[in-house]
Amino acid sequence: MKNNTSIPKATVQRLPLYLQCLDQLDDNSVGISSKKIAEIAKVNDAQVRRDLSYLGTLGTRGVGYDISTLRKQLELELGLVDGLSAIIIGVGNLGSALAEYGGFKEKGFKIVGLFDSDPGKLNKQVGGLEIKPLTEINDTCKKYKVAIGIIATPENVAEEIAEKLISSGIKSILNFAPTMLKNKPGIQIRSVDLSQELQILSYYLDRAPLKVSK
């Protein structure tokens, strides 16, 4: 399929999942079928084929997908090829955890700055980086062409931090503070609210065995 039209949102959400599936293949196999991916990702196999077809004609009929080609294409489509830089604002427990989280580098992201408003934390090292004051956000963004800002501050300052990030040229924000940031045009915001995840689980508690509207 020729790729002019843009990829559906629902598909974009699953692409990282497929990438994860590939990483999880223990054996050194070379090819994989949509059925196998579907099994690991827990989705329908037609779904996998349709999703992957948005990336181009990647598979071989009767055979399957070449793992290395597929991985490359997924990374390309997701824009992971040239190691995006990110900074973390708020180096409390969560911020530290993120700073030391191995998964980011593994997936091609580079944390290039840690920032905190607490003077007591300045110059401390976390995950190999020194904690800097908020005033240096702008410089770091310029210097490293930072693509993504990760907010791990308390909720009450998240909004002003978001504005600071945007004024430093950042276009994408991953927000861990449990607050809804205001919409800014042209800025991508994703929020991960840990409590909300628990709340969703809570809804399905004990109802799981009953028929739930798919």
Answer with the entry of a second copy, DNA, none that 15 interacts with (C-beta below 5 to 8 A by kind): a second copy
Residue 163 in contact with a second copy, rule: CB under 8 A: no
- Within 13 Å and on the Cβ side, how many CA atoms surround 50? 11
Answer with the entry of a second copy, DNA, none that 94 interacts with (C-beta below 5 to 8 A by kind): a second copy
Answer with the entry of a second copy, DNA, none that 79 interacts with (C-beta below 5 to 8 A by kind): a second copy
The answer to whether 179 and 159 are in contact (CB under 8 A) is yes
The answer to whether 87 and 149 are in contact (CB under 8 A) is yes
Q: Longest C-alpha distance within the chain, in Å?
A: 62
Answer with the entry of DNA, a second copy, none that 25 interacts with (C-beta below 5 to 8 A by kind): none
Answer with the entry of a second copy, DNA, none that 33 interacts with (C-beta below 5 to 8 A by kind): DNA
Region 4-43 residues binding DNA, contact defined as CB under 7 A: 8-11, 32-35, 43
Cβ contacts of residue 112 below 8 Å, gap of 6+? 85, 86, 87, 129, 140, 144, 146
Output the smallest distance, CB 3 to DNA, in A.
10
Among 1, 7, 25, 46, indicate the residue that binds a second copy (CB under 8 A): 7
Query: How many whole angstroms separate alpha carbon 161 and alpha carbon 110?
Result: 20
With respect to DNA, which residue has the nearer C-beta, 2 or 106? 2
Among 60, 123, 188, 202, indicate the residue that binds DNA (CB under 7 A): 60
Q: By CB under 8 A, which span of 28-36, 61-69, 137-145, 180-188 interacts with a second copy?
A: 180-188
Give the CA dihedral 43, 47, 48, 52, nearest 10 degrees: -150
Answer with the entry of a second copy, DNA, none that 206 interacts with (C-beta below 5 to 8 A by kind): a second copy
The answer to whether 111 and 125 are in contact (CB under 8 A) is no
Output the smallest distance, CB 49 to a second copy, in A.
18
Containing H/E element for 172? strand 172-175
- For residue 192, the one-letter residue type is V
Query: How many whole angstroms separate alpha carbon 157 and alpha carbon 181?
Result: 10
Residue 65 in contact with DNA, rule: CB under 7 A: yes
Task: Provide the terminal-to-terminal Cα distance of the chain, rounded to the nearest Å.
Answer: 30
With respect to DNA, which residue has the nearer C-beta, 34 or 153? 34
Q: Residue numbers of the site for DNA (CB under 7 A)?
A: 1, 8-11, 32-35, 43-47, 49-50, 52-53, 57-65, 213-214
